[in-house]
Amino acid sequence: MSETATLSGLNAWVREFAALVDEHKEELTRLDSAIGDGDHGINMERGMAAVLAALDGAETPSSAALLKNVGMTLVSAVGGASGPLYGTFFLRLASACGEVTEVDADTFAKAVRAGLDGIVARGKAESGDKTMYDALAPAADALDEALAGGSSLRAALEAAADAAEAGRDATSPMPARKGRASYLGERSVGHQDPGATSAALLFRAAASVLG
């Protein structure tokens, strides 16, 4: 088992995320219909299909080049709030991973943290707002904690994916305070957040192919 995220590993991560989004697109759209405008699955599926097409046609000699390509494609293909947010996550991840072909576990965890900070800067979400942040922040914390405790990258990503899914589940009882769901106020209670749901897929994808 590798202790680093290789270029081919990162590539596989993005492809696995695309596959999970495709598999779950109807669920994402159904969740978004309940408290948003019913297009999260459609938009993410379109964005990740564009990412796969972009990766197939591009030379990506480094982690930064690969992840920047993913981020720019998402910004220009998704629209809505998800495009800038997921795009910013991958662009920050790209800068933090750097022009290398192999990213060690600590650098990867720092990059995830940088990506999360980017999402906060763009979306101004906080814990408990019922957004993707509620899945991503616990995942980043769990990743740091597991690595500090001596876990392998793969095991730490498993812990992060579990934390993201727990964070996703915890969005159900929250009233939304950001995005279109916030217009519903208390009526958003009892519905799982679609953004937190797709964000949990991102970490599940990482746990199954990275490290």
Q: Which is nearer to another protein, 9 or 80 (CB)?
A: 80
Choose which of 43, 63, 69, 171 interacts with another protein (CB under 8 A): 43
Give yes or no for residue 62 binding another protein (CB under 8 A): no
Amino acid (one-letter) located at 142:
A
Q: Is 15 in the site for another protein (CB under 8 A)?
A: no
Given the complex with another protein, which of 118 and 167 has the nearer CB atom?
Answer: 118
List the alpha helices (DSSP H) in the chain. 7-35, 40-56, 63-77, 82-97, 105-123, 133-148, 153-170, 194-209
**Phi, psi angles (nearest 5°) of residue 102:** -145, 130
Kindly tell me which residue out of 54, 166, 175, 189 binds another protein, with binding defined by CB under 8 A: 175
If one asks whether residue 27 binds another protein (CB under 8 A), the answer comes out as no
Give the whole-angstrom CA distance, residue 159 versus residue 11: 21
> Distance between CA atoms of 11 and 53, rounded to whole angstroms?
13
Would you say 83 and 48 are in contact if contact means Cβ atoms under 8 Å apart? no
Among positions 103-122, residues that touch another protein (CB under 8 A) are 122
**Cβ at position 80, least distance to another protein in Å:** 4
- Between 101 and 127, name the residue whose CB sits nearer to another protein: 127
Asked if 40 contacts 194 with a C-beta cutoff of 8 angstroms, the reply is: yes
Which residue stretch of 35-43, 62-70, 95-103, 142-150 sits at the interface with another protein (rule: CB under 8 A)?
35-43
Question: Which residue from 15, 184, 189, 208 is in contact with another protein, where contact means CB under 8 A?
Answer: 184
| C-alpha closest to that of 157 among 33, 2, 46, 32 | 2
Number of residues located near another protein, criterion CB under 8 A: 32
Closest to another protein by CB, 79 vs 117, is 79
Cα 127 to its chain centre, rounded Å, is: 16
For another protein, the binding residues (CB under 8 A) are 29, 33, 36-39, 42-43, 46, 75-85, 122-123, 175, 177-180, 182-185, 187
